[in-house]
């Protein structure tokens, strides 16, 4: 059972989602505008938010950015927009997953379950002494904090999960299928999803794909995180 916030202005869709989620033993609150959603997450704790993009007061993508400013609750986008550029933009803005309308209730249930498994496994597996250190990079899974050379990194939920997973396997090449399964909790998916998050993570680590320091991509194989060579300057 989870606490779910449904942000959807279409009353018919909203009622159907509430009915289905309640039947699945979830606790559900619902709103029809972005501003109401922001007020809800500021006052209540949710396990997941289902966010429509076509809201009457504010575009859902802007609402997502505002949500990310006050909470790291997992957000599943529910949208009729299937443009690849838009999907990538949403992932960049901090979405944990997305569904293209129309979708089945079974599909929604599977996505919610996957997001909850991932978010809960992070807390369950983390121990007080499990701080990860790779070169000048420090990752604390329990507090969900990361630092580079003593400076705090401002990471989205998915960026942190990806970094923590790789930091727990320094020097090991992790196949993309394993990243999708362990970080995204998906048995299949688009490699571009991984590439987008790696790109944004590299920016925050002060590196590029052409001049990597910590994150190294082996084309056709996978990704590894390892400390930079001794004396290699930050960029």
Residues 6+ apart with CB under 8 A from 167: 132, 134, 137, 139, 225
Mean pLDDT of the chain: 85
CATH code of the domain made up of 132-225: 1.10.10.10
How much is the average pLDDT of 62-80? 85
Q: Examine the pLDDT at 233 and tell me if it is beyond 50.
A: no
Q: pLDDT digit string (tens) for 52-61?
A: 988 999 888 8
pLDDT reported for residue 76: 93
Q: pLDDT digit string (tens) for 116-133?
A: 877 665 555 444 447 899
* Domain 2-121: which CATH number of 3.40.50.2300, 3.40.50.1820, 3.90.1640.30, 1.20.120.1230: 3.40.50.2300
Q: Is the pTM of this model over 0.85?
A: no
pLDDT reported for residue 127: 46
pLDDT band at 104 (very low <50, low <70, confident <90, very high): confident
Q: pLDDT digit string (tens) for 140-152?
A: 988 889 999 999 9
Q: Which parts of 107-203 are beta strand (E)?
A: 132-134, 137-140, 145-148, 151-152, 174-175
Q: Where are the chain's structural domains?
A: 2-121, 132-225
pLDDT reported for residue 44: 86
pLDDT reported for residue 230: 59
How much is the average pLDDT of 205-229? 91
For the chain, the helix, strand and coil percentages under 3-state DSSP, each to the nearest 5: 40, 20, 40
């Amino acid at each position: 059972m989870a606490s779910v916030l449904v942000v959807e202005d279409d009353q018919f869709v909203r009622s159907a989602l509430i009915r289905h989620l309640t039947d699945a033993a979830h606790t559900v609150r619902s709103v029809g505008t972005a501003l109401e959603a922001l007020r809800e997450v500021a006052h209540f704790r949710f396990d997941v938010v289902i966010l429509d993009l076509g809201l009457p007061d504010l575009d859902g993508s802007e609402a997502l950015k505002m949500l990310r400013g006050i909470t790291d609750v997992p957000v599943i986008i529910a949208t009729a927009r299937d443009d690849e550029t838009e999907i990538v933009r949403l992932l960049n803005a901090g979405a944990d997953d997305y569904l293209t309308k129309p979708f089945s209730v079974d599909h929604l249930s599977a996505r919610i379950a996957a997001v909850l498994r991932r978010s809960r496994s992070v807390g369950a597996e983390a121990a007080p002494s499990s701080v990860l250190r790779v070169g000048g990079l420090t990752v604390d899974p329990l507090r969900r904090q990361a630092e580079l050379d003593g400076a705090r990194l401002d990471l989205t939920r998915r960026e942190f999960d990806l970094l923590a997973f790789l930091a727990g396997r320094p020097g090991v090449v992790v196949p993309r299928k394993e990243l999708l399964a362990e970080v995204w909790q998906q048995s299949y998916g688009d490699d571009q999803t991984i590439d987008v998050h790696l790109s944004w993570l590299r920016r925050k680590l002060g590196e590029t794909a052409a001049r990597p320091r910590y994150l190294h991509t082996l084309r056709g194989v996978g990704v590894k995180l390892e400390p930079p060579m001794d004396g290699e300057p930050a960029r």
